[in-house]
Structure 1
Amino acid sequence: MIQPGLIKKQRILLFVLLALILLTIFIGMGLGYSSISYNRLMPILFGQGTFKEEFILFSIRLPRIIITLLAGMALALSGAILQGITRNDLADPGIIGINSGAGVAIAIFFLFLPIDAGSFVYLLPVVAFIGALITASVIYIFSYNRKVGLQPVRLVLIGVGFSMALSGAMIVLISSAEQEKVDFIAKWLAGNIWGTDWPFILAILPWLVILIPFTLYKANRLNLLGLNEPVAIGVGVSIEKERIVLLLTAVALAAAAVSVTGGITFIGLMAPHIAKALVGPRNQLFIPISILIGGWLLLFADTVGRNLVEPDGISAGIMVSLIGAPYFIYLLLKK
């Protein structure tokens, strides 16, 4: 049974995080290469702005803000699931190679296959999912031992190796491509939020609408998978079946996110850790907090990054890495 005090604390934190997200969105809507006065935002939102103001807000700022928020949520949830099923606090879709697998699939699709403008946006998450799934499956097979089961430390080491190898493969792929396509892949590798239009929101949103409630439904299973295997088996959990289902969920969330935001790491590492520090390790409590923290972290990083250097700014992936890399080293030394 969850203590009433913890539930109350979780609700307060959810409210605070929602307020923080709304505040960051409000600030982000006004900032940019063509700034908008904050006292004009409400009139513009209600259709009383000039053509230029409405174009900047509705065609440029809002799609990017929503995409960034959704992608951060997806990456945070993916990281929380991976940490639960592997019992490894260092698991993150970017660190263990899942994002790189998605990136290679997107690069092959973008560079070598015929692209239809109408279906391109909606095919990207599917293509990324296939690449990420193949990568995750191979990493899982190499990390699994019949006698001792899944080896968490081995999974991270193999995942890091695969991530480096796939990044090398990406460079080989783009070395003979057209300059315009090379520029796109380079931006993807840097974690540049590139899917900044309303169709991209429609492409990623269904994945979250389905997989967030599904993960919350499976929260208790994640709690049991966090125990050692004999205990989990003793209470009737089909360990391998649950792991595979939840691994597919984590891969789908990460693939949907990186297909429109590029190769962003560390969100899936940091958000679950911060959430656990606030409300404890029970998945029912920390997963909703983690989702909001992930969304806010990426939104904050992108808002700051795109306004530091004009006109293009610094990519969100680089901004997140500046925070996440030292945090990863700290966890690595701690664990």
Structure 2
Amino acid sequence: MFTALLLEEKDKKTHASLQRLNEHQLTTGDVLVKVDYSTLNYKDALAITGKGKIVRQWPMVPGIDYAGTVLASDHPDYRIGDEVLLTGWGVGEQYWGGLAEKASAKGDWLIPLPPGMSAKRAMAIGTAGFTAMLSLMALEQAGVKPDQGPVLVTGATGGVGSVAVRLLAGAGFEVHAATGRPEHADWLTSLGAAAILSRSELDAEPAPLESQRWAAAIDSVGGRTLAKILSQTKMDGAVAACGLAGGVALNTTVMPFILRGVRLLGINSVYMPREKRIAAWQRLQRSLPLDFEDQAQVLTLEQSIAAAGDLLAGKLRGRVVIQP
């Protein structure tokens, strides 16, 4: 038996509760994992509160990522006692996820914890940090360099944004952080932001082209904010789009692309190939401070239910780690 946060659909509404489940209910894959830590991501919050169409089948254990220790394995790459982590692959949406004491996964979805990385550190980074690193790597592959000018990060107090600020600053970029929560300006500055912008500056209807401000951007908001950023990106700049908190529609023009050579880079962290996953996680281990996990908020499974609403309401900042 093990404890899990279970989501059930009753009267077309989502109900979340802690329940004791049997291991035989875990039928997803060929590796059984003792979950040491998971996280609370934006997508998890949407699933738990029922405010987003995240869950694809019921009942569902949410949690799109987790790190832990192998309890049993029929996969040739993993043995009992191996330390592993998982992000993406539809876990927490289509397959039971990590907000539980145990989880079952296909071995091909897992990767070993990088040398020196604890399960807590891995989940303090989590899907959000992994996405931030993929975004940074995409900008670098697009040729963006620190001497080209400031890089904008939207949703900067969120999981992806806060890690992106750290990573960009650590890589030598001048980081401008956009947030709707000015009370956290000092915290963002401590992460490495050189300037703080109000979210409202990017929420206005954009012109086809505006004054060139950004060498690049990492955007977790989408919608009109992304359209605004594209219109303000410098010649030969690039924008990594990795979120949709502000909406899925993108009403823009071709002008930033054909008159300035701006590149829009889509970041898909869910189905990233294994080799790129390992490379990104190894770089995360090297790039983030040794005490990074100490700055994450640690909650229990029971606390994650209320925290999901707080996250959507903008009451949380940074990373939230869940310890089953």
- Bigger fraction of residues in helix: 1
- Bigger fraction of residues in strand: 2
TM above 0.5, yes or no, is no
TM-score normalised by structure 2 residue count = 0.29
